[in-house]
Amino acid sequence: MIIGIIPPVTRTGEFKYCETLVRGLNERGLEVKVLNNQFLVHRSNLKIFLGSLLLKRIIKEEVEILHNTDNLGPFLFRNSDTKIKRISTVHDIAPVVLPDIHSNIMKFDFKIVLPRLIENSDLIITDSYSTKEDLEEYFQVNAAKIDVAHLGVDLSFFYPREHDDILMKKYGINNDYIFYLGNDNPRKNLKNLIIAYSKIYKDVEQDLVLVGPIDQKNLRTLTEKIDKGGDLSERIITPGYVDYEHLPLFYSQATSLIFTSLYEGFGFAPLEAMACGTPVIISNNSSISEVVGDSGLYINNPLNVEEISNKITELLNDEKLQNKLMKRGPKRAEMFTWDNTINKTIKAYEKVY
């Protein structure tokens, strides 16, 4: 069984998934061909349309199973004259579920193009049952055509670490903090998190640390607008790029992780935080509750800034709750391993082979 892997266009969570999957398949003795340079295009739409036109020429029957690990791949045409089986991983359908915060191009790709790609795939793999249910609801995909392979966390890397105040100071962090990891995509709901923090920052000791690609100009404009004359901007720390090897320390040293996303196909941050023994405050929607289970403090309406503020205050003031979540988190994280992801993916290959 020769597997052709089509990697994601962007180096995000999907890239981590693809990289780990390829390594795991190789370790299990499967022959894997990563079809990266063959497409010669790194823009999503070009990859879909041009890749679909050239797919037969690119593959040349060298593989028996072709697995697209991005949401969108080069499967616009059925190509019934080839014996190659095609599998697509659909991580999420955010532009369909939340159309108001996505561009027209994204909505077109996910509402019009993605259903056709799914139809031309022999099997779909999703990261969560939540995404599986979304595909059934929005696209009427037959449940039998969808396999779920939860993503994982590397427990040999993400585990509770000793505090290192010297290193943290190099990143500009001098106090206890609430931790956010992610970008400022509207889906992440960062604006409401900042507004919620602005309502309580004078009453709590913890700063708010935001790690990820966040537009500093927009952040300054927001903080100045909601806290004129105050020192909110001084309490929100943005270290910029953080070395990946330091992420477990950022999780471990945080009082809590705050994750107010409006929608996720999986969501690595809460899982990694739990593995590091850090209490998590999370939105009660999409796949997030599926991953966190009873090991987090839930925000039922992440658009309600008062509820976000109240949940942060509740956790910071309740040491018993903190300890309970610190104990539950690592046990919950043990349920999500990359070995399970890879094993379930291989079973999916065997199903269509």
If you count them, how many residues does the chain have? Answer: 353
Query: Which residues 6+ apart lie within 8 Å of 125 measured at CB?
Result: 87, 88, 89, 90, 146, 147, 148, 149, 345, 348
**Number of domains within the chain:** 2
Supply the range of the domain harboring residue 78: 2-152+337-352
Same domain, residue pair 235 and 186: yes
| Residue-level pLDDT at 42 | 57
| Residue-level pLDDT at 206 | 97
Reported as type and span, the H/E element at residue 85 is strand 85-90
| Residue-level pLDDT at 13 | 79
Q: What is the CATH number of the domain that holds 294?
A: 3.40.50.2000
Per the CB < 8 A criterion, the answer to whether 180 and 208 are in contact is: yes
Same domain, residue pair 140 and 259: no
Mean pLDDT by 10 residues, the chain (353 residues): 87 86 95 75 68 74 87 82 88 95 92 94 97 97 97 97 94 96 94 97 96 92 89 93 94 98 95 98 96 97 98 97 98 97 97 91
Q: Is 111 inside any structural domain?
A: yes
Cα of first residue to Cα of last residue in the chain, in angstroms, is 8
Query: Which residues are registered as beta bridge partners of 195?
Result: none
Same domain, residue pair 90 and 103: yes
- 61: DSSP letter: T
Same domain, residue pair 118 and 234: no
Reported as type and span, the H/E element at residue 114 is helix 114-119
| Residue-level pLDDT at 62 | 80
Per the CB < 8 A criterion, the answer to whether 33 and 84 are in contact is: no
> Measured at the alpha carbon of residue 134, what is the angle toward residues 353 and 91, in degrees to the nearest 5?
60
Same domain, residue pair 317 and 174: yes
Q: In whole angstroms, give the CA distance from residue 166 to residue 160.
A: 17
Specify the pTM. 0.93
Same domain, residue pair 109 and 23: yes
Same domain, residue pair 327 and 346: no
Same domain, residue pair 173 and 139: no
CA 318 to chain centre: 29
Query: Which residues 6+ apart lie within 8 Å of 80 measured at CB?
Result: none
> Measured at the alpha carbon of residue 82, what is the angle toward residues 80 and 87, in degrees to the nearest 5?
85
Same domain, residue pair 93 and 184: no
Per the CB < 8 A criterion, the answer to whether 121 and 75 are in contact is: yes
Q: Is 55 inside any structural domain?
A: yes
DSSP string of 116-135? Answer: HHHHT-SEEEESSHHHHHHH
Q: Is 158 inside any structural domain?
A: no
Same domain, residue pair 90 and 41: yes
Same domain, residue pair 181 and 305: yes
| Residue-level pLDDT at 169 | 94
Same domain, residue pair 193 and 171: yes
| Residue-level pLDDT at 9 | 77
Which of 243, 252, 261, 275 has the alpha carbon at shortest distance from 179? 252
| Residue-level pLDDT at 61 | 63
Q: Under DSSP, is residue 349 helix (H, G, I), strand (E, B) or coil?
A: helix
Q: In whole angstroms, give the CA distance from residue 144 to residue 54.
A: 30
| Residue-level pLDDT at 45 | 72
